[in-house]
Amino acid sequence: MNVSYQWLSQYVDLQDVDSRTLAELLTRGGVEVDAVESRNAGVSEGVLVGYVKAREKHPNADKLSVCTVDVGAGEDLQIVCGAQNVAAGQKVPVATVGSVLPGDFKIKKAKLRDVESYGMICSAKELGLNEKMLPKEQQEGILVLPADSEIGRTIQDFFGLADEVLELGLTPNRSDCLSMLGVAYEVAALLGRDVQLPEVNGALSALANGDLSAADHVKVNIEASEGCSLYSARIIDGVRIAPSPQWLQNRLLAAGVRPINNVVDVTNFVMLEYGQPLHAFDRLRLSEGIIKVRFAREGESLETLDGQVRTLQSSMLVIADGEQAVALAGVMGGASSEVTAETTRILLESAKFAGAVVRKTSRQLGLRSESSLRFEKEVNVDAVMAALDRAAVLIAELAGGTIAEGIVSASTATTDPLTVGIKLTKINDYLGTSLTGTEVQAIFERLRLGSQWSSADDAFQVTIPKRRGDISRDVDLIEEVARLYGYDNIPTSLVYGDTTVGALSPAQAVRRTVRRTLAGFGLDEVINYSFTHPQKSAVVPGVYGDKPAVKLALPMSEERSVLRQSLIPHLLDVVAHNRNHNQADVAVFEIGHVFVTDEEKLSKLPEQPLHLGLLLTGLMQSAQWLQAGRAVDFFDLKGVLERLLASLGIFDVTYSLHAADGFHPGRTAQLTVERNGQTVVLGVAGQLHPQVQQEQDLADTYVAELDMYVIASLVDTQIAYRALPRFPESKRDLALVVGREVASSTMVDVIRQVGGELLQSVQVFDVYTGEKIDASKKSVAFSLVFRHDDRTLQDEEVQSIIERILQALADTFAAILRS
């Protein structure tokens, strides 16, 4: 809603309140003003209405003309003009020498092809007017003003440019401020002043036509009561369609509504004034004059004012003349009964259509109008008749008609005014204030809410006017009190009650540890979108199998049409993005939800596990002056995972070679642990399949995806202290030659088993393949540490265990001690 300051000041005294102050007042009161714009884009005083007395061809230029212009200054001005449409006898805007146009364009005396020019005849654009709001014929060339425009009048005054427009950013509850009067009530309440309503009744009787009864020319029938609770109509006869007077056009222009003709302009003016949309039918183009408010028949068609033929649905409300639909109720009129230049008799409609019905119709047709916008939010039923009378008077005044006797109306529901009770203590308890009954009463009075205060009951009975449909409960009244009292005046306090202990849940704490640990290892944290392309979702299918993705019903693009099932595809996008910025070394992680379902169409919420994704590619260590760069490999990834999981107390993870689509079959592991006899899968880690790498134009890339909920369930934060050893340890290294296919972890298992309690630790410290041994073999070197808790071990004891270990390794793997 765009509110003209000058227009608003017709209803509330704003003499001591400028537009900026007003904007601040409204914003702080809860009606946010997004912007205050001057209507004057920069037209100075010396731009005047001029009269073109004569136009002659420029002697030296085909496209120019030399005009003699009277601007009421005594002496006529000679002005060279380049516009094709300039003609003698026109009234035009003239920027005289010394005046300024928008863009700080100063008008000087000029010589154009040897002819002197004392000013400039202006187009609408040069005046900074919004051309789109003007009739077509005023958009091209110089702006031709009405013939009756007063010569010498300033253009500022002519277009009412000494005005500011407040752009309201209204919240859905304050649809009462979709009208000048609604804003006036609000401003009056905030300032504690009166509202001056338009005077209608006197004019109404003056313009009445006693010979004509509305009832003879229109009947009203509401057949769909759920769509319309009140329909009223007047007949205005003998109108002459013409452009509206400039003051009315200026009001509409200020509000951003395009002037059309006097009748339509009045309906729009009154809509803006009262918030009540009106519609004017050409009565003589309606064949029967029997208005029926009914739902459309499925498939029924109607040509609307915008020239489009609409196919209607049975949920849409129409106004029919007899059987024929002639308007889409509350949304747009029909072409067949549109007011035209020939119209003489007007049927003026003012009604209350149900918000939900209008909203649905407007949505289904993709057709929104100033009218539908207001009906959707429920118009004020008390303004229906008032707006009808106001518009009838203005039409008769401006279009020269008379008003037929009486209103023809039908209503299906009348509602008593709502009364809401509230106790003073509740107000104060709720706000933390200590207002008195008198103070609250004064606030209700400023808001023009009828209130009765009973000090015995400590309670108010408040009658809510229909224009404030947003007030229906006690808390709504509390908000009104708080608003008017001023949110700034509410004290600050802290919640009473028992102290509560705040904390992260264990799973949340684990998440923080994981993030910090990974950042500490040098991985950067990323956050990627949850929406993805259906094909992207299938890049690394191995993580989630081939379940269907959750699809958006109306995606904004195919690129973002399904929910991700894995974190990996977007991590690959991160690599691509950084590669495009010359950064090939990427080590990143993300913790985020993925979405898993078995259903093609969801009947219940999908599973939404929280995953941890990691990606390493390029150099693990970048080349530096003292060390060469080193490319990432599987063991960098595994090292990160091992250290991460160990820091969470998860030490017993098994990494087993794992075949998964999209992964390198020889360089991918599944991570599992055994708990209570069950194998629990943590996730998968490995190199992308070389084919995927090639398709995605990636270097060797290692990725892992783990389930954070599983990890959280395995976390063991209990630290069991063990006394420091008192006896020395005995250390032995063994290098064993085995077949290349033997997994080192299985050798460790055997060593541990045979080593028993005395074997404190066993670690692989070297793996060798090459010239010195058979090509089908590898040498694996282990470092073994033995210790007894209560005494020093004898060499012979250790030696005997070593021999047993060697024997077992020989038996199991045909391992030979490397000499």
Q: How many residues bind another protein (CB under 8 A)?
A: 98
For the bound state, the minimum distance from the C-beta of residue 164 to another protein, rounded and expressed in Å, comes to 17
CB of 621 to another protein, least distance (A): 7
Q: Is 278 helix (H, G, I), strand (E, B) or coil?
A: strand
The binding track of 316-355 with respect to another protein, each residue x by CB under 8 A or -, is: ---------------------------------------x
Q: By CB under 8 A, which span of 115-123, 442-450, 570-578, 716-724 interacts with another protein?
A: 570-578
Rule CB under 8 A: is residue 772 a binding residue for another protein? no
Smallest distance, another protein to C-beta of residue 546, A: 20
Piece in contact with another protein (CB under 8 A), picked from 121-129, 264-272, 412-420, 546-554: 546-554
Pairing of strands 402-405, 208-213: parallel
Decide: 282 and 348 in contact? Cβ < 8 Å.
no
Nearest to 399 by CA among 478, 345, 459: 345
Cβ proximity to another protein, 402 vs 561, nearer residue: 561
Could you say which of 173, 344, 760, 812 contacts another protein (CB under 8 A)?
Answer: 173
Binds another protein (CB under 8 A): choice among 171, 311, 744, 807: 171
Residue 622 interacts with another protein (CB under 8 A): yes or no: yes
Q: Which stretch binds another protein (CB under 8 A): 258-266, 267-275, 413-421, 471-479?
A: 471-479
Minimum Å distance from CB 416 to another protein?
23
432 binds another protein (CB under 8 A): yes
Query: Interface with another protein by CB under 8 A: which range of 405-413, 548-556, 690-698, 726-734?
Result: 548-556
CA 71/CA 94 separation, integer angstroms: 8
497 makes contact with another protein (CB under 8 A): yes
Of 13-21, 91-99, 282-290, 514-522, the segment contacting another protein by CB under 8 A is: 514-522
CB 355 within 8 A of CB 345: no
Size of the chain, expressed as the number of residues it contains: 819
Query: Smallest distance, Å, CB 686 to another protein?
Result: 21
Give yes or no for residue 72 binding another protein (CB under 8 A): no
Question: Degrees (nearest 5) of the Cα angle 124, 179, 261?
Answer: 45
Angle in degrees, 0-180, between the axes of helices 262-274 and 383-399, rounded to the nearest 10:
150
The dihedral through the CA atoms of 284, 289, 295, 298 has a sign that is: negative
Q: What is d(CA 729, CA 326) in angstroms, rounded to the nearest whole number?
A: 101
Residue 508 within binding range of another protein, rule CB under 8 A: yes
The verdict on 475 binding another protein (CB under 8 A) reads: yes
The least distance separating another protein from the CB of residue 633, rounded to whole angstroms, comes to 16
CA–CA dist 761, 243 (Å, integer): 99
**Binding-site string for another protein from residue 233 to residue 272, where x marks contact by CB under 8 A and - marks none:** ----------------------------------------
Distance CA 358, CA 497 (A): 48
Other Cβ atoms within 10 Å of 498 Cβ, number: 5
Do 200 and 269 form a contact (C-beta atoms < 8 A)?
no
Residue 116 vs 429, nearer CB to another protein = 429
Closer by beta carbon to another protein, 153 or else 360: 360
User: Of the two residues 78 and 428, which places its CB atom closer to another protein in the complex?
Assistant: 428
Give the pair of three-digit tokens for residue 252: 């509409």
For residues 623 and 743, which CB has a smaller minimum distance to another protein in the complex? 623
Q: 584 or 814, CB closer to another protein?
A: 584
CA angle centred on 726, ends 725 and 730, rounded to 5°: 75
How far apart CA 365 and CA 361 sit, in angstroms, is: 6
**Pairing mode, strands 630-631 and 619-621:** antiparallel
Is the CB of 341 or the CB of 501 nearer to another protein? 501
Does 434 contact another protein by CB under 8 A? no
**Exposure class string for 346-359: b at 16+ Cβ within 10 A, else e:** bbbbbbbbbbebbb
628 binds another protein per the rule CB under 8 A: no
Written as one letter, the residue type at 291 is I
What minimum distance in Å lies between the beta carbon of 600 and another protein? Answer: 11
Residues 594-613 that bind another protein (CB under 8 A): 595, 601-602, 605-606, 608
Interatomic CA distance for residues 378 and 311, integer angstroms: 25
For residue 625, count CB atoms less than 10 angstroms from its CB and return exposed for 0-12, middle for 13-18, buried for 19 or more. Answer: exposed
Cβ proximity of 609 and 707 under 8 Å: yes
Cα–Cα distances (Å) from 652 to 414, 567, 649, 758, 770, in that order, read 76, 25, 9, 20, 32
List 166, 181, 325, 563, residue binding another protein (CB under 8 A): 563
Q: Quick one: 453 or 521, whose CB is closer to another protein?
A: 521
Tokens 């005494």 correspond to 791
491 binds another protein (CB under 8 A): yes
- Which span (221-229, 401-409, 535-543, 552-560) binds another protein, by CB under 8 A? 552-560
Of the candidates 218, 550, 669, 685, which one interacts with another protein according to CB under 8 A?
550
Q: Hey, which bits of 124-218 come out as E strands?
A: 164-169, 208-213
* Residue 194 near another protein by CB under 8 A: no
Only one of the segments 2-10, 153-161, 172-180, 277-285 lies at the binding site for another protein (rule: CB under 8 A); that segment is 172-180
Is the Cβ–Cβ distance between 683 and 671 less than 8 Å? yes
SS3 57: strand
The only residue of 626, 719, 723, 775 in contact with another protein, by rule CB under 8 A: 626
**Residue 661 in the binding site for another protein (CB under 8 A):** no
Position 29 contacts another protein (CB under 8 A): yes
Q: Which of residues 699-758 bind another protein (CB under 8 A)?
A: none
Shortest distance in whole angstroms from residue 275 CB to another protein: 15
- What's the CA gap between 531 and 577, in Å, rounded? 17
Question: Cβ distance 752 to 762 under 8 Å?
Answer: yes
Instruction: Write the interaction track for another protein spanning residues 383-422; mark x where CB under 8 A is met and - where it is not.
Output: ----------------------------------------
Q: Is 494 in the site for another protein (CB under 8 A)?
A: yes
> Which is nearer to another protein, 268 or 517 (by Cβ)?
517
Q: Which residues pair with 208 in a beta bridge?
A: 403
Stretch that binds another protein, among 383-391, 547-555, 778-786, 797-805 (CB under 8 A): 547-555
Q: How open is the CA angle 141-143-144, to the nearest 5 degrees?
A: 115
Residue from 574, 631, 750, 758 touching another protein (CB under 8 A): that is: 574
Q: Which of 722, 715, 750 is nearest to 736 (CA)?
A: 750
Does the protein bind another protein through residue 587 (CB under 8 A)?
yes
Q: Which of 151, 191, 260, 356 touches another protein (CB under 8 A)?
A: 356
Output the six-digit token pair for 367.
């057709």
Of 704, 567, 578, the C-alpha closest to 632 is: 704
Show the CA angle centred on residue 519, arms to residues 516 and 525, nearest 5°.
Answer: 100
Q: Which is nearer to another protein, 113 or 577 (by Cβ)?
A: 577
Query: How distant, in Å, are the alpha carbons of 80, 123, 126 from that of 112?
Result: 7, 19, 19
In the complex, least distance from residue 508 CB atom to another protein, rounded to whole angstroms: 6
Angle at 199 between CA 198 and CA 205, to 5 degrees: 140
Window 518-537: residues binding another protein (CB under 8 A): 518-531
431 binds another protein per the rule CB under 8 A: yes
Q: Which is nearer to another protein, 504 or 814 (CB)?
A: 504
Q: What is the DSSP letter of 596?
A: B
The least distance separating another protein from the CB of residue 442, rounded to whole angstroms, comes to 18
DSSP-assigned beta bridge partners for residue 236: 346, 403
